[in-house]
Structure 1
Amino acid sequence: MSRTEAGDVLTDVVMRTFRLYGAFLDAAEVMTKPVGLTAAWWQVLGPVLREPMSVSGIAREIGLTRQSVQRIADLLVDKGLAEYLPNPAHARAKLLRPTPDGYAAIDRLRDIQHEWANRVSAQVSVEDLRTTLETMTKLVAAVT
């Protein structure tokens, strides 16, 4: 198969995405440390802030393996930041939800995260951010 311009550009996008993901993880570790979380804990708590979800549902939502989410969910439960609930739809696949301490940690993180997001987003136009989000959404759909 021959190379195409679009394929070469997509390869560059993938490489930049790896770099950006690493930078986001580094920033998340800095933001979460003062509130007693880690970037991974925040990533797993995020999807269950509105409603409890199964570990496999969380994994699908954030693009990680079920096993890695299970490990983090168990740690969150051990630390008192989340709890398992019965799942009426599936007896063995319990639902994860934050505890009051988990919600409090996320609340303490909110101002730190907003300050960071405002500082970073001030360097890029809102239109460019919207275009990026739209493009990323299309790429996720194309590769999943």
Structure 2
Amino acid sequence: MDSESLAAAGLLEALSRASEILAELRHPFVRSEQFSYFFPPAGARVGAAVMLPDGRELRFEVSIAVSGRAFQVEGGIQVEAETLLELPRKSVSGIEEGLAAFGDYVGEVAAPARQLIEQLLEELSDN
């Protein structure tokens, strides 16, 4: 395989791994679904959406995209219009650096997930 093919394979592997990790963000009392899609001109976003009992959607997502001659990596957690976690946009020049940043951001978005879901459910039960 040439270097471009190896880079493409690395990207597909990173997206699959991220989808697996974010798909595990569920709770027995709420509905959740994973999502992944491509966006123009050259980007991909993966994540999970959790529907809270009050109808609000809690979203965990990470994206990687090409912008100019750099890879842009972003991640965050939102409940409707409220941002709970916004990781700073990271801009790197190489695919290996981009995939490493993407993997780091997947971990940073997934780490507080269970606690956030529990906290939001507890707040709802207190009301």
- After TM superposition, is the score higher than 0.5? no
- What is the TM-score with the length of structure 2 in the denominator? 0.32
TM-score normalized by structure 1? 0.29
The structure with the largest alpha-carbon Rg is: 1
